[in-house]
Structure 1
Amino acid sequence: MAKKNAFYAQSGGVTAVINASACGVLETAREHRGQIGKVLAGRNGIIGALREDLIDTGKESRAAIRGLLTTPSGAFGSCRHKLKSLEDNRAEYERLIEVFQAHNIGYFFYNGGGDSADTCLKVSRLSESMGYPIQAIHVPKTIDNDLAETDNCPGFGSVAKYVAISTREAAMDVASMCETSTKVFILEVMGRHAGWIAAAAGLAAEEDGDAPHIILFPEISFSRDRFIARVKRTVRKHGYCVIVASEGTQYADGTFLSEAGTRDAFGHAQLGGLAPALAEMVSTELGYKYHWAVADYLQRSARHIASQTDVDQAYALGKAAVEMALAGKNAVMPCIVRGSGKRYRWSVGEAPLEQVANREKKMPRNFITRDGFGITPEAREYLSPLVVGEAYPPYRNGLPQYTRLKNISVPRKLRRRFTVS
């Protein structure tokens, strides 16, 4: 019987280290050529499988695959496409099984966040009922750090490092000019329902009075009056105020301050414009001169200052995914398990996808100060080791050098084309 091939795909917003997970998957699969045949990748994620647009990763050199360790973005392309239930869109599942069967694919490695975990679980369950069982392993990835059943998520540590550094450096700039210029600086960061990224900015503060002076979390209801009062008090005391705000900051009724009224491909409300909205409040109420910035894609693509811890964990979970598949595991996710004791230690664990899919891990209340505007020592203890270590990419002529794969397609075997809606 021919060895089963593997299919790997990247999903959702990419990170500085998602390619490190890809490297872990591909290098480990190559070490087990006796058990795994080819590793095919989906061009632009699961859409590549639906369209039968598959990449032969075997055409890439060892050096190119190793170069993924220091390369940001999604090397094979990603997408935001959530498979609906079998009842709502049976055609997509039938198409996936048709493509997997045509290319002798028996292993499915899906590298993404919560929605990807849900897709992975559905494929695992439904492929067996449709007569072609697939071993589906979810490889976790999300800068939001909101996946259940893992201590932290690959991608988050590097974003946390970027946001903490940016906050510290911007604060130094503002402090040096606050006598005659900007009084308030606002940095908007990602985080729809969970304030982990905003919390990471708190690492920038080492002494009393250090920025950020205010952190806005989705977990804490926003009060305009309390916010303005805190800004005014901070400027009076320190001469300036640095605010880091999660894009998911919301009022007590659940309305996002920055909701744009549109929805993305996963059905989530699209957010944006929180920083200028907060700046307008400050200007209207207090008349202070302000500046604001939105970290946006910069925070998740900043491979030049990635966390070494994050890189190591991303690679380890990609490697573990293959090893779990070869051990006969199915519908599981390798996860990070934090060790006990003062010295930070971590290991790879295993979580069933039933406990991961469609669940969100928010900031614990004891990680947020009583006034709702900062992080506690418990949060600092949790966050600090995740940003440790510098994993610089190679540089040439002053700029980082990143790997670009050839991404050669394998020939299609199916005559029927499929349109992704």
Structure 2
Amino acid sequence: MAKKNAFYAQSGGVTAVINASACGVIETARQHKKEIGKVYAGRNGIIGALTEDLIDTSKESKKAIAALRHTPSGAFGSCRYKLKSLEENRREYERLIEVFEAHNIGYFFYNGGGDSADTCLKVSQLAEKMGYPIQAIHVPKTVDNDLPITDTCPGFGSVAKYIATSVREASFDVASMAKTSTKVFVIEVMGRHAGWIAAAGGLASDADIDLPIVILFPEVTFDRKKFMATVAAKVKKYGYVSVVVSEGVKGDDGKFLADQGLKDAFGHSQLGGVAPVVANMIREDLGLKYHWAVADYLQRAARHIASKTDVDQAYALGKAAVEAALAGKNSVMPAIIRTNDSPYRWKIEDAPLKKVANKEKMMPKSFISRDGFGITPKCRAYLEPLIQGEDFPPFTKGGLPNYVQLKNEPVAKKLNTAFELK
């Protein structure tokens, strides 16, 4: 029997290190040519599989694949597309089977967050329900850091390092202008339901550098009066304050402060714009001069200041995914297991996808200070190891990061039928 090919795809919001996982998958697969044929990548995630739009990664040089380790974003294109259940949309699964059979694909590696884990779980069930043998392994990724079981999610450590650094640098800026100008700086960060990224802003202040920082977590209901009193107290003591606000902050009515009334492809509320909302409240209630910023894509694309811990883990999980498949495993996700805080030590263990898909890991209450506006020493002990080390990309003669753009040559189509997404 001919050796099977592998399918790899990226899903959801990309990160500074998702390509490091891709590098881990492809380089490891290339080291096992006796067991794995070619690695095909889906152009724009699972959509590439459904539309038979596959990329032949064997056309890329060893140097180009290695450069993925220091290149941000998704090299093969990502998507927000969630497969429905087999009962709801059988045509999608039949199409996947058709494409996998046509291209002799026996390994499925899906690199993404919670919704991607759900997709991977559903694909893993194809063997049982539709009689096609395929091993589906989920490669964790999400800046939100909200996947269960794993100690951290690749992408988060680098976002945390970027936000902590940015809040520290911006705080120094505001401090220098506070006497006659800006008193409040508001920065909006990602985090729909879990405040992990917002918490990272708290790292900006420590025992050596004391900075006034107020954090608005999605886990804590926004109390306008209490928040204003805290801001006013910080400004009175320090002369200024920096506010880190998660996009997922809700009021006592249960609604997102930044809810635009729109939905994304997964049916989630389209968020964004909470920074100006909070800043205007401060102007109305306290009359203080302010500036605000939205980190948006900058926080998840900042490969130039990526955490070495994050890069190493992203690559290791891509490698572990292939090794799990070669060991005959199916419907699992390699997860980071913390074995020690200081020094930080970790290992990889397989987690069943049934315990990962559609589950969110929230910030523990013990990580949020009693007043609801800061982080605890326990939270700091968790976060600090994740932002350790630098893994700078190479720079061009022109002074910019030297990232790789793959050729992404298509695989010749073998099917006569097209597939329209619904």
TM-score (norm 1): 0.99
Q: Deviations over 1:143-168 (max 9, x none)?
A: 00000110000000000000000000
CA distance in 2, matches of 1:390, 1:260: 37
User: Which aligned pairs between 1:112-261 and structure 2 lie closer than 5 A?
Assistant: 112-207=112-207, 210-261=210-261
Displacement of 1:212 in angstroms is 4.9
Aligned-pair identity (%): 71
RMSD: 1.0
Q: What is the number of residues matched between the two proteins?
A: 421
Structure 1 counterpart SS, 2:137: strand
* 1:415 to 2:419 alignment: no
CA distance in 1, matches of 2:287, 2:340: 49
1:128 and 1:134 in contact (8 A); partners too: no
CA distance in 1, matches of 2:200, 2:341: 22
Match of 2:5 in 1: 5
Q: CA separation of 1:156/1:354 partners in 2, compared to 1, >3 Å: closer, same or farther? A: same
Structure 1 counterpart SS, 2:342: coil
* 1:72 to 2:72 alignment: yes
CA distance in 2, matches of 1:289, 1:342: 41
Gaps of 5+ in 1: none
Match of 1:285 in 2: 285
* 1:262 to 2:259 alignment: no
CA distance in 2, matches of 1:57, 1:301: 23
Structure 1 counterpart SS, 2:120: helix
Query: What one-letter code is carried by the residue in structure 2 that aligns with 1:337?
Result: I
Q: CA separation of 1:209/1:395 partners in 2, compared to 1, >3 Å: closer, same or farther? A: closer
CA distance in 2, matches of 1:211, 1:3: 58
CA distance in 2, matches of 1:113, 1:209: 34
Q: Deviations over 1:261-284 (max 9, x none)?
A: 000001100111100000110001
Match of 2:43 in 1: 43
Structure 2 counterpart SS, 1:339: strand
Query: What one-letter code is carried by the residue in structure 2 that aligns with 1:415?
Result: N
CA distance in 2, matches of 1:250, 1:365: 17
Q: Deviations over 1:300-330 (max 9, x none)?
A: 0000000000000000000000000000000
1:120 and 1:331 in contact (8 A); partners too: yes
CA distance in 2, matches of 1:211, 1:395: 32
1:167 and 1:212 in contact (8 A); partners too: no
Query: What one-letter code is carried by the residue in structure 2 that aligns with 1:307?
Result: S
2:212 and 2:234 in contact (8 A); partners too: no
Displacement of 1:233 in angstroms is 1.1
CA distance in 2, matches of 1:159, 1:390: 13
Displacement of 1:134 in angstroms is 1.0
Query: What one-letter code is carried by the residue in structure 2 that aligns with 1:412?
Result: K
Question: 86-95 vs 168-177, which deviates more?
Answer: 86-95
Q: CA separation of 1:6/1:60 partners in 2, compared to 1, >3 Å: closer, same or farther? A: same
Q: CA separation of 1:208/1:28 partners in 2, compared to 1, >3 Å: closer, same or farther? A: closer
Flag as ranges the 4+ runs of structure 1 deviating above 6 A: none
TM-score (norm 2): 0.98
CA distance in 2, matches of 1:212, 1:2: 63
Displacement of 1:341 in angstroms is 5.5
Structure 2 counterpart SS, 1:312: helix
CA distance in 2, matches of 1:342, 1:118: 34
* 1:398 to 2:367 alignment: no
CA distance in 2, matches of 1:170, 1:382: 24
CA distance in 2, matches of 1:336, 1:209: 31
Q: CA separation of 1:209/1:398 partners in 2, compared to 1, >3 Å: closer, same or farther? A: closer
Q: Deviations over 1:82-103 (max 9, x none)?
A: 0011121111111011100110
Gaps of 5+ in 2: none
Structure 2 counterpart SS, 1:384: helix
1:9 and 1:46 in contact (8 A); partners too: yes
CA distance in 2, matches of 1:366, 1:174: 30
Question: 253-262 vs 179-188, which deviates more?
Answer: 253-262
User: Which aligned pairs between 1:268-417 and structure 2 lie closer than 5 A?
Assistant: 268-340=268-340, 342-396=342-396, 397-417=398-418
Question: 108-117 vs 223-232, which deviates more?
Answer: 223-232
Match of 1:55 in 2: 55
